[in-house]
Chain A
Amino acid sequence: MSSAQASADAPRRPFTGRRVRFGDLSLQVVAGAAALATTVLVGLIVWKVIDGARPALSKYGLGFVGRIAWNPVLGHELYGAGSFLFGTAITSVLALILAAPLAMGVALFLTELAPRVLRAPVTALVETLAAVPSVVLGLWGILVLGPALRDHIEPTLHSALGFIPLFGEPGSGSSIFTAVIVLTIMILPIVSSISRELFLGVPHELKEGALALGTTRWEMVRGVMFPYARGGVAAALILGLGRALGEAIAVTQVIGGGVFIKANLFGTGDTLASKIAASYQGSTTKLQTGSLVYLALILLVFSLAANIAAQWVVRRVAHRHGITRGGHA
Chain B
Amino acid sequence: MSAGITTPGLRLDRLPRRRRVNRLMEVLAWTAAGIAIAILGVVVYSVARKGASELNLDLLTKPPIPFSLTNAPQGLANAFAGTLVIVGLATAMALPVGILVAVYLNEFAPASIRNGVGIVLDVLNGVPAIVIGIFVFGLLVVGHGQSGFAGAFALACLMLPLVARSTMEVLALVPNALREASLGLGIAQWRTTLSIVLPQTIGGIVTGTILAVARVAGETAPLLFTSSFVGTQTNWDPRHGLQSIPVAIFELSESPDPKDHARAWAAALVLLLFILFASLGGRWLATRSRRKIAAR
Contact = CB atoms under 8 A, between A and B. Distances in A.
Interface SS, B side: helix
B175 interface: no
Interface stretch (B37-45, B68-76, B230-238): B37-45
A300 B206 CA distance: 31
A199 to B, nearest CB: 11
A308 B186 CA distance: 43
Interface stretch (B56-64, B84-92, B128-136): B128-136
A296 B134 contact: yes
Nearest to A21: B188
B189 interface: yes
A315 to B, nearest CB: 10
Interface in A105-151: 105-106, 108-110, 112-114, 122, 124-129, 131-140, 142-144
A101 B50 CA distance: 32
Contacts of A139: 47, 249, 253, 264-265, 268
A303 B221 contact: no
Contacts of B123: 42, 304, 307-308
Nearest to A188: B36
A27 B194 contact: yes
Interface string B227-251: 0100000000000000000100110
Contact of B128 (A26, A114, A247): A247
Contact of A114 (B1, B33, B135, B142): B33
Interface string A200-229: 000000000110011111110111100100
A203 B94 CA distance: 38
A122 B37 CA distance: 8
A137 B268 CA distance: 9
B18 A39 contact: no
Interface in B119-139: 119-124, 126-132, 134-135, 137-139
A133 to B, nearest CB: 3
A319 interface: no
A322 B131 CA distance: 36
Interface string A7-49: 1000000000000010110111011111101110110110011
Nearest to A213: B5
Given A109-B30, A133-B271, A222-B1, A125 B129 contact: no
Interface in B270-284: 271-272, 275-276, 279-280, 283
Interface in B18-50: 18-19, 21-22, 25-26, 28-33, 35-37, 39-40, 43, 46-47, 50
A114 B142 CA distance: 53
A287 interface: no
Most buried by B among A37, A131, A209: A131
Contact of B124 (A41, A143, A292): A41
Contacts of A127: 279, 283
Contact of B132 (A31, A45, A114, A185): A45
Nearest to A51: B138
Nearest to B104: A31
A273 interface: yes
A249 B130 CA distance: 8
A311 to B, nearest CB: 6
Contacts of B129: 246, 248
Contacts of A143: 50, 253, 261, 265
A242 interface: yes
Contact of B29 (A30, A109, A210, A277): A109
Contacts of B100: 30-31, 33-35
A156 B217 CA distance: 39
Given A215-B5, A245-B128, A246-B130, A124 B190 contact: no
Interface string A288-321: 0000110010011001101110010000000000
Contact of B188 (A24, A108, A253): A24
Contact of A135 (B26, B40, B109, B220): B220
Contacts of A109: 29-30, 32-33
Given A52-B138, A307-B122, A246 B246 contact: no
Given A23-B190, A249-B221, A311-B122, A105 B249 contact: no
A34 B228 CA distance: 30
B97 interface: yes
B135 A299 contact: no
A303 B128 contact: yes
B35 A49 contact: no
Nearest to A37: B97
A246 B6 CA distance: 41
B103 A296 contact: no
A266 to B, nearest CB: 20
B3 interface: yes
A114 B122 CA distance: 32
A113 B22 contact: no
A3 B29 contact: no
A253 B250 contact: yes
11 contacts: A21-B189, A23-B189, A39-B117, A44-B135, A105-B28, A128-B276, A139-B47, A143-B253, A213-B5, A216-B21, A218-B22
The 9 closest A-B pairs by CB, nearest first: A133-B218, A105-B32, A246-B128, A223-B4, A31-B104, A34-B100, A307-B126, A216-B22, A248-B130
Interface of B: 1, 3-6, 9-10, 18-19, 21-22, 25-26, 28-33, 35-37, 39-40, 43, 46-47, 50, 96-97, 100-101, 103-105, 107-109, 113, 116-117, 119-124, 126-132, 134-135, 137-139, 142, 157, 160-161, 164, 185-191, 193-194, 214-215, 217-221, 224-225, 228, 246, 249-250, 253-254, 261, 264-265, 268, 271-272, 275-276, 279-280, 283
